């Protein structure tokens, strides 16, 4: 009887852990960082308008990805995934293209780095007095991308970097 009760409790605990995984697409899922919550579509404008500034990035994200917007602490996170035609060296070429058009006076920096064994192109930019970490991760087959950004205040810079790393650590490519 004790074994049956223990088995039931372990099943419930493991199910609740699985339930927190976010499905980004058929090709990618993510275990969200602690405290990350989804903003319901019907509350997005209201919630973001009250707690966060509506930057042009945020307005565009709401329009294009309204059901993929999350918050953690005082930050807003948008994360999406999609398939691309396999293109070896994609991140390097993508970085070169974006760096050519970047406004370096806005605090723009970019790099391709390995985070938790995944190749990630990260950009940092200041836009409308808010900081953004934009990120693009690609799977080893170079045919699935995960894109997103974290909008944060300057005072949350270190925490935003931790959240970015936690997002990438929780990222699982299914291909």
pLDDT higher than threshold 50 for residue 18: no
Q: Which residues pair with 131 in a beta bridge?
A: 126, 152
Per-residue confidence at 168, pLDDT binned at 50, 70, 90? very high
DSSP 4-70: HHHHHHHHHHHHHHHHT-EE-SSSEEE-PPTT-EEPPGGGHHHHHHHHS---HHHHHHHHHHTTSEE
Q: What is the pLDDT of residue 25?
A: 82
**What is the domain-level CATH number for residue 12?**
3.40.1000.10
pLDDT higher than threshold 70 for residue 81: yes
Q: What is the pLDDT of residue 15?
A: 39
Number of domains in the chain: 1
| Tens-digit pLDDT profile for residues 30-65 | 998 899 988 877 777 777 666 666 667 677 777 776
Distance of alpha carbon 137 from alpha carbon 151, whole angstroms: 18
Cβ pair 27, 173 in contact under 8 A: yes
Q: What is the pLDDT of residue 145?
A: 92
| Tens-digit pLDDT profile for residues 105-139 | 678 899 999 999 999 999 998 877 788 899 999 99
pLDDT higher than threshold 50 for residue 89: yes
> Residue 166's domain spans which residues?
2-173
| Average pLDDT of span 89-104 | 88
């Amino acid at each position: 009887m004790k074994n049956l009760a223990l088995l039931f409790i372990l099943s419930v605990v493991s199910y609740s852990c699985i339930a927190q995984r976010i499905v980004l697409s058929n090709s990618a899922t993510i275990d969200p960082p602690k405290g990350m919550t989804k903003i319901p579509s019907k509350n997005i404008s209201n919630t973001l308008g009250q707690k966060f500034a509506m930057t042009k990035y945020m307005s565009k994200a709401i329009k294009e990805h309204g059901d993929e917007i999350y918050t953690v602490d005082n930050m807003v996170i948008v994360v999406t995934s999609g398939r691309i035609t396999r293109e070896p060296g994609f991140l390097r070429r993508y970085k070169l293209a974006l760096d050519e058009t970047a406004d370096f006076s806005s605090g723009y920096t970019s790099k391709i780095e390995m985070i938790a064994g995944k190749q990630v192109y990260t950009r940092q930019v200041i836009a409308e007095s808010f900081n953004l970490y934009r990120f693009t991760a690609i799977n080893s087959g170079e045919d699935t991308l995960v894109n997103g950004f974290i909008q944060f205040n300057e005072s949350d810079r270190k925490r935003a970097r931790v959240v970015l790393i936690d997002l990438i650590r929780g990222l699982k490519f299914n291909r």
